Structure 1
């Protein structure tokens, strides 16, 4: 199978219990389950780093066993991503979390940072596993199954840093030429990416600001309740009312904490992942342009007869096949990505809307209950005065 082509067929074993699980939106039976958990800190004389346990369960025949357990650090995930991009330059590779997501002099490996990264790494591997082509990549299989010494040996293979730097410089020059001959359908695709990038980055910033402001609001509200308790000690006639207010504030604090937890887990990661996806898509377009530019340069050389005509004709034929495969792979993956993006974002905002309604209903019910109790108390006192 060509490295950039798609194959809808996934080898499965009908006898496996794993294959009895079928996801609603997936036409094929899922036969690869990956979990990233149990982060562990490692301190050496040179560096401090975190490794994560990766458990893989599968029924695929190309795997030597049905279950594997390995430990990988963040740099290993970077290696895998680079290998996937190298093997499939015009497929949409799922993004990894940034190397550092906390700006400023903040504790690098605090619990929140580690947990946020763990979830992102878990999501990355499962995105790759669910991809119809990437899931069968040999480096992906090695990443999931090879033990430490074997994996380290495998990572050392491949071009060196200077070679990759030379290739990247040439790639930039070629990609600039490729833009000039970019087909209209890819121009439209690029325009979509640019607009999408602007919108999703703005939504990401606004979402982060909302969360920050809600955190500040919660911190202040938590101080507000105890003040009413202290106040009730010096106001005998208002003591019950003030304590009720404090109780309502406490209930609203708990509701707000629950809302913030849902916001940070259901919406923020989805939005930020697609910020990273937008950057990835721009890189994919550049790689496609580079392949196109290689073909254009050979055609130009043939036209001007600057080199051996027979050799150029052979090279052009190979490059034409490469361009066609690259374009077909990108177009197919583009539609798949757009559908996933629409489903993910729609689901995230729908869930968030439902959480918002529930949150405000809870807070409203709390204060309505308080007002009702105060009205009943006032009526009782009025009745007692008449007697």
Structure 2
């Protein structure tokens, strides 16, 4: 029981350290409750990932493989006048693989680089306690991933910008979506000269958030292992008391009752740890959100890098114009060396080059203006979405940790009750 109490205190300390000052709200029963249903798409359409199914087929290497597909159900919502948009209220259904969800999210990352795109649930089981299967086809893991994929779709559908995307709508309603052609690579890294402190701090924050949640999940996995052992020891108590009751006449009933309480307590650990996995998955979502934050920072670096390169190119052209107009060369250049060896340019050649440089400078100024405007607009839109994300994160993480702490306290009370019942059985012997 001390282990459980320590972990409850750890959860509460994390709540305080993250500074999650949000008015209390009732505990969540599912990840779906963590989504705000306030956007136009969710007012018109219900979205569910109803079930998962194992299938066998051939992959790109023409080899047999077993994979899981998920059934997406969408249904137009009824209104007072009948059916929204005049569309039948029967649900539309289609199957999607996890890889298709990955493709959709990559498309959203590329198309909306200023938005903190919701993450997908883990592809492979991580931070699991040792008694839990890490098999990707394990029914419990597949079920948790189904809930996570539904939560992902609802997160996107609840976003004020992402919910209006046509490709996302086609992903929900059309069997074939051609997203591949819209994808680009975001793997390049750029080092800017004057980084924006806000985005630098955001990178550090995302790293710290990832580290803290990963450590919390590791501790939870270790605690779950020890807790599993403690509960199974109670099963040994139950077996011993039951065997002892068979050879005792006067104490037999008391020992048998105590053994029954111990057996019931030991058997409850599987349901308890399965409920814990639900809260762990909610924390994992924000572990993966840290990557989404880093993607926004990476895109900002690219935008600022392009602006700085445009400014650098413009400054270089202005220097060339000044040198050409005055006939002085500030730095060594091949053209300056050529002029010394083969003589100066004619007046016509110089004027022609000056006119070309003037035109190039005007184009460079326009380009720099556009790049600066693009960078400023990116910062404005990105920061609006980051603020929205932070409010959502504070609320969701706070509720998940408090609900987890309440569950642990309830579990400890049940343990105390079991031993109180056992004490009464012993007193009656």
State the TM-score, normalized to the length of structure 1: 0.79
Contact 1:259–1:356 (CA under 8 A) maintained in structure 2: no
The aligned residue for residue 17 of structure 1 is none
Report Cα offsets for 1:79-134 as digits up to 9, x if no partner: 10011011101210111123322699964312122112111111111111111111
Shift of 1:61: 7.8
| Alignment size in residue pairs | 340
Report Cα offsets for 1:207-231 as digits up to 9, x if no partner: 2222232233333433432232122
Describe the SS at the equivalent of 2:181.
coil
Distance 1:240 1:317 in 2: 88
The aligned residue for residue 300 of structure 2 is 288
- State yes or no: 1:38 paired with 2:51: yes
- State yes or no: 1:141 paired with 2:153: no
Specify every segment of 5 or more residues in structure 2 that has no aligned partner in the other structure, as ranges.
Answer: 1-32, 78-82, 321-356
How do residues 71-86 of structure 1 correspond to structure 2 at under 5 angstroms?
71-86=95-110
Contact 1:256–1:359 (CA under 8 A) maintained in structure 2: no
- State yes or no: 1:119 paired with 2:147: yes
Shift of 1:28: 5.5
Return 300-309 or 103-112, whichever deviates more. Answer: 103-112
Specify every segment of 5 or more residues in structure 1 that has no aligned partner in the other structure, as ranges.
Answer: 1-21, 379-387
Report Cα offsets for 1:155-176 as digits up to 9, x if no partner: 45345xxxx5xx546x31xx22
Distance 2:135 2:272 in 1: 26
Distance 2:136 2:417 in 1: 41
1:28–1:283 distance in 2 versus 1, CA, 3 Å: closer
Describe the SS at the equivalent of 1:176.
coil
- State yes or no: 1:176 paired with 2:191: yes
Shift of 1:63: 10
Picking from 115, 118, 129, the partner of 1:94 is: 118
Distance 2:108 2:186 in 1: 16
Distance 2:84 2:371 in 1: 34
The aligned residue for residue 25 of structure 2 is none
1:168–1:363 distance in 2 versus 1, CA, 3 Å: closer
- State yes or no: 1:326 paired with 2:378: yes
1:100–1:363 distance in 2 versus 1, CA, 3 Å: closer
The aligned residue for residue 231 of structure 2 is 218
The aligned residue for residue 314 of structure 1 is 366
Picking from 256, 271, 278, the partner of 1:243 is: 256
Describe the SS at the equivalent of 2:191.
helix
What value does the CA root-mean-square deviation take over the aligned residues?
A: 3.0
The aligned residue for residue 73 of structure 2 is 55
1:290–1:24 distance in 2 versus 1, CA, 3 Å: closer
The aligned residue for residue 342 of structure 1 is 394
Distance 1:145 1:181 in 2: 45
Contact 1:255–1:363 (CA under 8 A) maintained in structure 2: no
Contact 1:232–1:239 (CA under 8 A) maintained in structure 2: yes
1:127–1:367 distance in 2 versus 1, CA, 3 Å: same
1:133–1:24 distance in 2 versus 1, CA, 3 Å: closer
Contact 2:48–2:150 (CA under 8 A) maintained in structure 1: yes
Distance 1:64 1:156 in 2: 30
Return 335-344 or 349-358, whichever deviates more. Answer: 349-358
Larger radius of gyration: 2
Return 292-301 or 182-191, whichever deviates more. Answer: 182-191
Picking from 78, 83, 92, the partner of 1:68 is: 92
Describe the SS at the equivalent of 1:50.
strand
Picking from 194, 202, 215, the partner of 2:215 is: 202
Shift of 1:34: 1.2
Describe the SS at the equivalent of 1:44.
strand
The aligned residue for residue 302 of structure 1 is 314
State the TM-score, normalized to the length of structure 2: 0.71
Describe the SS at the equivalent of 2:113.
coil
Describe the SS at the equivalent of 1:90.
coil
Contact 2:310–2:368 (CA under 8 A) maintained in structure 1: yes
The aligned residue for residue 245 of structure 2 is 232
Distance 1:289 1:157 in 2: 24
